[in-house]
Structure 1
Amino acid sequence: MDSGFMIRRNRAAGRPFSSGNLSGKRSPEASFISGSATPFNMAWKSIVSQSRLKTLLTGILASKRVAHAYLFSGPEGSGQDPAAIEFAKALLCERSGTEACGECRNCVRVESLQHPNLTLVFSLPAGRNEKLGDLPLSKLSDADIALVQEQVRLKALNPYLAMTIPKANTIKINSVRLIRKESSLAGFETGRRIFIILNAEAMAEDASNALLKTLEEPPENTILILTTSLPDRLLRTIVSRCQHVRLAPLTAGEIQAALEERENIVPEEAAAVAKLSGGNYAKALQRLHSDLKERSLEAVDFLRTALGGSREEIGNSIEAVASAHEKQEIGELLLLLQDWLRDAMLLKEGGAGEPEDGGSLRRLIARYKRIDLPGAIAAVDRAVSLVDKNAYIPLVLLNLALALQESINPSELTDVRSSPAGSAGP
């Protein structure tokens, strides 16, 4: 589970203990995560879509009736973390409006996750010989702390980032107990104290029980914001003590529009990436920096082998694809093949526009006179469904090769079932 740790004030150093204390140089990881070189600075606009959520939060701020605890839940990558951070920014904004101004000193510090009245809590690896009551970071190695700092710095650059910290599987009770301790102390600055618990479902049982005590007796002027994509894994008593704010799933169209506007991606590529993202904007940003063209060529090569390769070549192709990719990657490979076949169908039927791989598509249509492209697309769709259901991948690919032959080149079927390729099956 990708979660996080607690950012807290380093009293000895007199500055926030967070990734903001690192060098201001942008790392390759930041470029991978987002094409933007600076943190988001657009108030609610930093949240992709979610108009209902923005209206709700604006209403809360306008009414001045802020609850002591909120639970932001929604599908993974729909924007729980960005929404929580933006809400915290608005609550701490010096102008006290219905959204963060993005310009005052408080807003700037929240954006960099360095405001002394804002604390993030998320999973940490267990420290060496860590005991109950130890500070969450006190038993970690310098290398582990540096890695955590870097992940928080990247989170500030892109709040959609799913933080990755090795061996950080649970939110520790020491992190949760520190919430109550910190909230009872005099603040470094006046105003609200805000604690954001990222991926709250990662709390261990003892941590959940500790949080419940805090929710039952909330400290004065303290606001807790929990985020999760798995609310059913939280204690019901925790959920019942929070104002539950639900985020809607993001559509492929909303993700495509965000990629075009925020990352300056051309519509064709944005559409392809959005389709592969599964409604997860963080995943869409990662996909931007993977070589979709190369992977699309790999999918088409599989098709070419299925149609014209020898039985041994087909078997080798199935084995290569199955061994080189994880289940999710194979599903994405098949979706790229499906898109390629759809382009062929549109071209054959005189659809508007020139596909990127128009030459190869025309050669396919010209060579196979009896081609049944809807049948081929349906065959790939069935294969994608089987992959999602954890079917045996080599057998799925074997049956797909047969189905593609039947749909595209029925006059020259290759009997792969009685060939060495058959060994790819169970």
Structure 2
Amino acid sequence: MNSVEQAMDYIKTNNVKFIRFQFVDIHGEPKNIAYPVKAGAAGEEELYDVLEKGLYFDGSSIEGFVSIESSDMMLKPDLKTLSVLPWRPTEKSVARVICDVYTTTGKPFEGDPRGCLKRVLAKFDEELGGEFFVGPEPEFFILKEDACGSWVPADDAGYFDLEPLDGGCDIRRKIVFALENLGFHVEASHHEVAEGQHEVDFKFADAVKTADSVVTFKTTIKTLAAQEGLKATFMPKPFFGINGSGMHCHQSIWLNGEPSFYDESAQYQLSETCMSYVAGILDHAKSIVAVTNPTVNSYKRLVPGYEAPVNIAWANANRSAIVRVPAPRGKGTRIEFRAPDPSCNPYLAFTVMLAAGLDGVKRKLSAIDPVEKNIFAMSEAQKKAEGIESVPANLKAALDELENNSVLKDALGKHIFENFIEIKNAEWDSFRTSVTDWETKQYLKI
């Protein structure tokens, strides 16, 4: 929908009784205010006004937003995102619309993650006529409650297994239908490597639409799982000894309306722009992961083994490097950054990936030679000889890298950068001072 009039017609046609004005906090967690649609001429006038001008809310209780003395804020709906929620009753339906956050002076709020991504994209468009496309692959676990009240994988299947081993066929089918009703172009769904682990792939799009989709994707899956008495989790490493969940991000940039990563005459058929973009990602990788892998648990996944993308190198077919260039060429030429996990805020994750890649393009960096050998099989001495470094081993080390990265700091903006660092350092301190079950079992006998 491109106009308030079209939105009004959609609401009336679909008998919408509540509209969720949705936005995200600094973690990427969705928040909303439910607006009741009122009958009669006065109700229509009020609805028109809210859709056109926005809805006031108190931002002081949203983590990473504002203090209590400057709490009044405005949610301005992006009417293109208005959609009925397929899991709610159809006779009195509920819709959601994704919003941008504004101050009461009418300016975009600098702490809004969606606004942050839009700001970086606008600058890219202004300077280079650029567009940024992303296709993420968020993995997740479906869990069931066992007799002891613990949440365990809901099936024992493995990669690409079929029923009856794959106990997730039915829930994945419901997820696909719901996503399609929400406007997703679902490309495939399948069981993943670990027990209870799944993946549903949807088509790439521009970065803002894709980030919106990731948030909607997670909400949809969690809701449908809960309706079945199950639990869906996007926790990066919920279980020891089996693979964790990643969110590989395929990405490309277009310049002046044309794809910029393909060059038929170049080595690997990859353009200088593509090689510089890859070099930028690799150059900033140690800082990027603070945002793309933003939890203490993220670094339980980013460890050697379990096919973890920890090695700062690039390759073509080789999936043991942190950046891979998939086989398609022409308009389909893209790179795949394999480090991110689905606990990240997609708006901020896409912001820092683009900023890092563009920094490589602007500085005309040259990517090192691809590493086509299995890095997972290399010893630390072999990796050192090849010049292959690893991402930070924990959240604190990643935050320290981010604090010293002026490129990513500028992309995130002062407000988000400072709040993100403060909140995540507090998270690390909470973890660092906690006593875990492992420690009790290991040391209580001392």
Greater relative contact order (Cα < 8 A, sep 6+) = 1
TM category (shorter chain) comes to: under 0.3
Higher helix share: 1
Taking structure 1 as the reference length, what is the TM-score of the superposition?
Answer: 0.20
Higher strand share: 2
